[in-house]
Amino acid sequence: MSFSSHIRSIYRHCRDRFYLIPELPRNIMVTVVLLCGAYCASSVLISHTGGENNSALVFVLAVTIISFLTTGYLYGILASIVGTFCINIYFMEPYAAFTLNRTGYPVAMLSMVTISCVVCALTTRVKQQAAEAIRREKNTKALYEMNEKLNEEKAAIQLESARETIRGNILRAVSHDLRTPLTAISGAASVLLSSPEVSEKNVAMLNDIKSDADTLIVMVENLLSVTQIQDGTMPLKKREEMLEEVAGDAILTTRRRFPDAHVELELSEDILYLPMEPMLIKQVMVNLLENAIRHSGDREHITLHLFRQDDWAVVEVRDRGKGLSPELCQAIQAGKPLKRDLSGDATRGMGIGLSVCQSIVKAHNGFFAAGNSPEGGAVFRFGLPMEEKTDE
């Protein structure tokens, strides 16, 4: 380490120790020490120079240093007044006595006080400007760092948005390309099933082919719906409809796909007439009914219940199957995307179907919930507002 570096290290250490002292005793100590130092220095000078008086310059220097090391104007002004009296008493004739009788003494004392006060004010102002410059530098640095962070977050959001757009476009393109061949497969299987020349073994295989093709068609339609609703490319075309008629169509579609399943429709005395997109609400009902048929383990006690609760038209789908896991209930209540290990038989699209239901109900300003019934089985419930809600 060089000598200059060693000196700087000692200076920083002393400065840090100095500013650890509380402000009031530190300022008093600085003022007293420097005034005593000015007195001692002036005493030494006057012993060598005789009558020639340089003590005023020494005390002005002391006041300047006091103003620099203390806070505010008080200590510098006080030091200038004390220094003026010290000069008059100890370093001007007659020594050891205060007098203004000599020519020029009043002017000298007044000039001394004025010069010391001006120096004190200028020094204090320089300190304040330096402190303000440091504060502005810190604020500028903080704003710069915040701006950099916001830019990074903005870039991340834009990247994620671009990814979601690409993902949605790919899903829509693939879904459109899959829907036509799947419909053809289902239609061909139906034609072959109606042929009397097909053996019983082949009938079972064709039934499986048709069932899987219909399932994939539903999944494709769900994918199209959820991507279009989430990115806003499918505007809702609401109109006043009876919820009972939509529920009847949903049950007919479900019975056509699952003729061996028993689905019961329960209606309340209230007529549920409300604004909705009927095809999408029907899709929600069909998805919930199909999930109950496929995943609950119960095909005999599935109920679609419609009733009014305050200003909501509520739809419930109940079964008496194995129920839902707590993790799945929490994920549905929180509106989170369903993981494959939470959605039961994910290959049959339960997670996709429920995501579609959540998206459609949310687009209608409704609510979606799920849980387990005390009598056993799962309960899926969603509500739609009886009157159109507008954003204020």
pLDDT (0 to 100) of residue 345: 45
**Which pTM value belongs to this model?**
0.49
CA atoms within 13 A on the CB side of 306: 23
Q: Measured between alpha carbons, how far is 61 from 312 in angstroms, rounded to an integer?
A: 84
Q: Measured between alpha carbons, how far is 165 from 171 in angstroms, rounded to an integer?
A: 10
| pLDDT-above-90 percentage for the chain | 12
Greater confidence, 151 or 15? 151
pLDDT (0 to 100) of residue 296: 81
Q: Measured between alpha carbons, how far is 119 from 386 in angstroms, rounded to an integer?
A: 80
pLDDT (0 to 100) of residue 347: 39
Tens digit of each residue's pLDDT (9 = 90 or more) over 344-364:
444 344 566 787 788 888 888
Query: What band does 73 get if pLDDT is binned at 50, 70 and 90?
Result: confident
Q: Element (H or E) spanning 318, and its range?
A: strand 312-318
Q: Which residues contact 301 (CB under 8 A, 6 or more apart)?
A: 262, 318, 319, 320, 377
Q: Measured between alpha carbons, how far is 183 from 214 in angstroms, rounded to an integer?
A: 8
Which range of 84-93, 220-229, 238-247 scores highest in mean pLDDT? It is 238-247
Closest CA to 378 of 324, 326, 328: 324
Is residue 103 helix, strand or coil? coil
161 CB neighbour count, 10 Å cutoff: 11
351 CB neighbour count, 10 Å cutoff: 21
Greater confidence, 14 or 288? 288
Average pLDDT over residues 76-85: 82
pLDDT (0 to 100) of residue 340: 47
85: phi then psi, degrees, rounded to nearest 5 = -65, -35
Q: Element (H or E) spanning 286, and its range?
A: helix 278-295
pLDDT (0 to 100) of residue 343: 45
Domains recognised in the chain with CATH numbers: 3-148 (no CATH), 237-385 (3.30.565.10)
**In whole angstroms, what separates CA 2 from the centre of its chain?**
51
Is residue 373 helix, strand or coil? coil
